[in-house]
Amino acid sequence: MTRILPIDRPREKLLERGASTLGVNELLAVLLGTGTRATSALELANELLDRAGGLQGLSHLSPAALSKLRGLKDARVARILAALELGKRAVSPADTGKLRFRLPEDAAKFLLPRFGSRPVEEFGVLVLDTRNRLKRVEVVSRGTLNGSLVHPREVYREAAIQQAAAIIAFHNHPSGDPTPSPEDRALTQRLRQAGKILGIDLLDHVILAGNRYWSFKEHNEL
């Protein structure tokens, strides 16, 4: 185990100099608290980041996948997941009642921190009132996106209950590429037609991938 001077130990460094002075590996080491018999917390953090492919890769891992990494048990996995979720919420508005979505980037700014880095595909809707203000966020399905998992009936159910005027559909691509697939385009048209029948407008369908997004409205496909 490498010896680290007290001034360079992540926890002491954080308290003395502030969190912004620490690298990602040092912040992760603080979360881990201790290392193993053979490695320090900092060495373990370096190993975990290397195996996961950096912070972005770490944020994409499911609890089960994290548990398989050496040195991570339930308590440490829980701390890492909690820290990642806190980071997402810190950059996402807390008071959803006053949010208003006028442009595609408004929806993307709200959705990316929450869903952009999810390890599995999730499909959901932003339920909006007559002034495009957010009433509710509803996740409709989790798993591979296909016609059997996402049906217009499920998408519009919560919107109808909430007496919504419009919705914005969204889902994430864990691959990191937000480009829509043929299935994404076909589903969007089905949702558009269903919305016309129900009298609930589909304002947009936003695809999220990491820190990038693709908007059907922005590309004039809605």
**Residues 21-49: pLDDT tens digits?**
878 888 888 888 777 777 788 888 888 88
Question: Are 18 and 120 within one domain?
Answer: no
- Beta bridge mates, 100: 133
Question: Are 101 and 30 within one domain?
Answer: no
Annotate the chain with DSSP letters as a single string: -----GGGSHHHHHHHH-GGGS-HHHHHHHHH----SSS-HHHHHHHHHHHHTHHHHHHH--HHHHHTSTT--HHHHHHHHHHHHHHHHHTS-S-GGG-B--SHHHHHHHHHHHHTT-SS-EEEEEEE-TTSBEEEEEEEEESS--TTT--HHHHHHHHHHTT-SEEEEEEE-TTS--PPPHHHHHHHHHHHHHHHHHT-EEEEEEEEETTEEEETTTTT--
Under-50 pLDDT residues of the chain: 1-2, 4-7, 145-148
State the amino acid at position 5 in one-letter form.
Answer: L
Q: What are the distances in angstroms from CA 191 to CA 5, 28, 179, 202?
A: 60, 42, 18, 7
* Domain annotation covers residue 222: no
Question: Are 158 and 55 within one domain?
Answer: no
* Domain annotation covers residue 221: no
* Domain annotation covers residue 206: yes
Query: With left for phi above 0 and alpha for psi between -120 and 50, is residue 220 left, alpha or beta?
Result: left
First-residue to last-residue Cα distance in the chain: 58
In this structure, what token pair is assigned to residue 76? 């440490």
Question: Are 111 and 199 within one domain?
Answer: yes
Question: Are 133 and 201 within one domain?
Answer: yes
* Angle between helix 182-198 and 152-161 (nearest 10): 40
* Domain annotation covers residue 23: yes
| 8 Å CB contact between 139 and 173 | no
Question: Are 139 and 206 within one domain?
Answer: yes
pLDDT, mean over the chain: 83
Question: Are 39 and 105 within one domain?
Answer: no
| 8 Å CB contact between 128 and 164 | yes
| 8 Å CB contact between 207 and 173 | yes
| Among 111, 107, 113, 106, CA closest to 90 | 113
Question: Are 47 and 131 within one domain?
Answer: no
pLDDT of residue 15: 83
* Domain annotation covers residue 1: no
Q: What are 141-167's pLDDT values in tens digits? A: 887 544 336 788 888 988 888 889 999
* Domain annotation covers residue 182: yes
Question: Are 17 and 74 within one domain?
Answer: yes
Task: Provide the residue range defining the domain that includes 52.
Answer: 6-90
Question: Are 49 and 123 within one domain?
Answer: no
Domain stops at, among 71, 90, 109: 90
Question: Are 121 and 78 within one domain?
Answer: no
Domain stops at, among 50, 68, 90: 90
Domain containing residue 83: CATH number: 1.10.150
Domain stops at, among 29, 61, 90: 90
pLDDT of residue 199: 93
Question: Are 38 and 111 within one domain?
Answer: no
pLDDT of residue 1: 47
Q: Is the pTM of this model over 0.85?
A: no
Domain containing residue 143: CATH number: 3.40.140.10
Report the number of distinct structural domains present in the chain: 2
d(CA 133, CA 216): 20
